[in-house]
Structure 1
């Protein structure tokens, strides 16, 4: 089990972000002193297909109570907490955004999962872990250019134990150009170019992985974006969501739905083994 007992360093902006997030949850009637994982499952919707994708990937990868999981680009810790709560495993989440790491750590503590989930502010290309450490790596919505993917694949191969698996849910480039508004859902999230599915597959295999599954789930992803649009227009944004996502979240979801619907982008679910 990996533990990091050092407090995350915070500046005013980082602490203020966490406070705004908690204030939003409190204003929606959440009891901050008695939060449950169900109260904050909404933060699973910061990646495509949300909890459904996390559950499917975990089942595909064979995550269990004995698993040590690394969640790359962990955001507010939604997938990490879902994995710990649903499967009883230990999870380390890493993210580049200090404000996300601070908020994720506080949310995890408040729902009582801090004995299973650790969130750290680290770079995915330079992970502070020894070789052969993790059983499973989760990689969801970390679209970027092919050079970055190659470096990332090599680093994930290094920290995975022999027989370890990378569970992937990735938006990739489609056959139709150009891509419309290739932007992150969150205001703090990175923006990158998309690679084609064959390039992604080849990058992983060149790093030493064997592809066990590589499935096109574009229809399901498009339906998820459509449901996000409907929910935002009908019920408004869920509690806390407005603090995290971009102001133009609905137009962005419409563009991403068009990307998928018009084959400008595709969504793939994959499993790669070391």
Structure 2
């Protein structure tokens, strides 16, 4: 993981302070008793489309309280809290950022979650033997974070070594869907988004195969991601004055402006006519300006995509 990621402004102090304040507000609403993960879901979930697909995957895997599961790049623990509470598995999570791990522990304690071990570390350099996880896990998963990591061979080696033979790997990731040269604005946006690893499908599959996996499924959900992000943009813009009043202009100018102007230019494959898009997302259209909105929604070919990948460990490496 690069040092640049440690200074990624989307996860800088204004955003982390906002999360801490949200935790404090939730705590103030309940004088006694434990919280549940959904008490925090209005602010702690960073993943497009939530937990729906990982829930389906784990249900099909028939995990149970004896199942060892590893989550890489767990962030503030939104998905891990859901998984730990819903499936009662023996869960280990890893994240690179100390502030995320601090928040993760705090919210887990408030929820009374005891079946999760939270590790500070680099997902490409885990001491799996020391953690008691070498060839022990039935499932390794990560949601929408692997694109930050350039060293995929090292990353996928960790995934392989953590899994039992026949164990399953589940990934949601930002990838290159259509290999078309980026215009200057798109390159600028991709850099701001920390789009470090830009892999096409055949490259991604080859790296997984080289790491001892058989890729069972590789599905794009780019339109679903695009609509999710444009709907999120509408919510941000509706709440703009409240957000600035409560958390300050700096947070709006980093986290929220990026969530509108970067995310919606990365993912704009809405599957709608221009009139349908204007009707569905009027505030985003006004924020972009009609000409710019039309350009991205109707004229710019989709280049990045949301990939959902399932793979099985078939050999040790």
What's the TM-score bracket when you normalise by the shorter of the two chains? 0.7 to 0.9
Relative distance call for 1:205 and 1:16 in structure 2 (3 A) is: same
Q: Is the 8 A contact 1:135 1:160 kept in 2?
A: yes
Deviation at 1:155, TM superposition (A): 1.5
Deviation at 1:127, TM superposition (A): 1.0
Relative distance call for 1:23 and 1:45 in structure 2 (3 A) is: closer
State the secondary structure of the residue aligned to 1:150: helix
Deviations 1:65-110 (A, max 9, x none): 3321111000000111111111121211100101111111111111
Work out the CA distance in 1 between the residues paired with 2:165 and 2:135. 7
Asked if 1:126 corresponds to 2:138, the answer is no
Relative distance call for 1:170 and 1:57 in structure 2 (3 A) is: farther
Q: Is the 8 A contact 1:48 1:224 kept in 2?
A: yes
Deviations 1:173-196 (A, max 9, x none): 1223314512677xxxx5513111
Residue equivalent to 1:140: 143
State the secondary structure of the residue aligned to 2:255: coil
2:190 corresponds to which of 175, 179, 182 = 182
| TM score, norm. by length of structure 2 | 0.70
Q: Is the 8 A contact 1:228 1:253 kept in 2?
A: no
Q: Is the 8 A contact 2:222 2:267 kept in 1?
A: no
* Long gaps (5+) in structure 2: 1-11, 271-296
Deviation at 1:16, TM superposition (A): 10
Work out the CA distance in 2 between the residues paired with 1:110 and 1:17. 21
Q: Counterparts in 2 of 1:232-271, with a 5 A limit?
A: 232-235=236-239, 246-248=255-257, 249-258=259-268, 262-271=301-310
State the secondary structure of the residue aligned to 2:199: coil
State the secondary structure of the residue aligned to 2:70: strand
Residue equivalent to 2:79: 79
Residue equivalent to 1:200: 204
* Long gaps (5+) in structure 1: 1-13
Q: Which is greater in Rg?
A: 2
State the secondary structure of the residue aligned to 2:267: helix
Relative distance call for 1:61 and 1:192 in structure 2 (3 A) is: farther
Residue equivalent to 1:90: 90
Deviation at 1:61, TM superposition (A): 4.3
Work out the CA distance in 1 between the residues paired with 2:31 and 2:13. 16
Work out the CA distance in 2 between the residues paired with 1:95 and 1:184. 21
Deviation at 1:253, TM superposition (A): 2.5
Asked if 1:157 corresponds to 2:196, the answer is no
Deviation at 1:147, TM superposition (A): 5.5
* Bigger Cα displacement from structure 2, 259-268 vs 159-168: 259-268
Residue equivalent to 2:52: 52
| TM score, norm. by length of structure 1 | 0.80
Q: Is the 8 A contact 2:150 2:196 kept in 1?
A: no
- Count residues in correspondence: 254
* Bigger Cα displacement from structure 2, 69-78 vs 172-181: 172-181
Deviation at 1:38, TM superposition (A): 1.3
Work out the CA distance in 2 between the residues paired with 1:184 and 1:39. 31
Deviation at 1:263, TM superposition (A): 1.9
Work out the CA distance in 2 between the residues paired with 1:63 and 1:141. 22
Higher helix content, 1 or 2: 2
Asked if 1:209 corresponds to 2:248, the answer is no
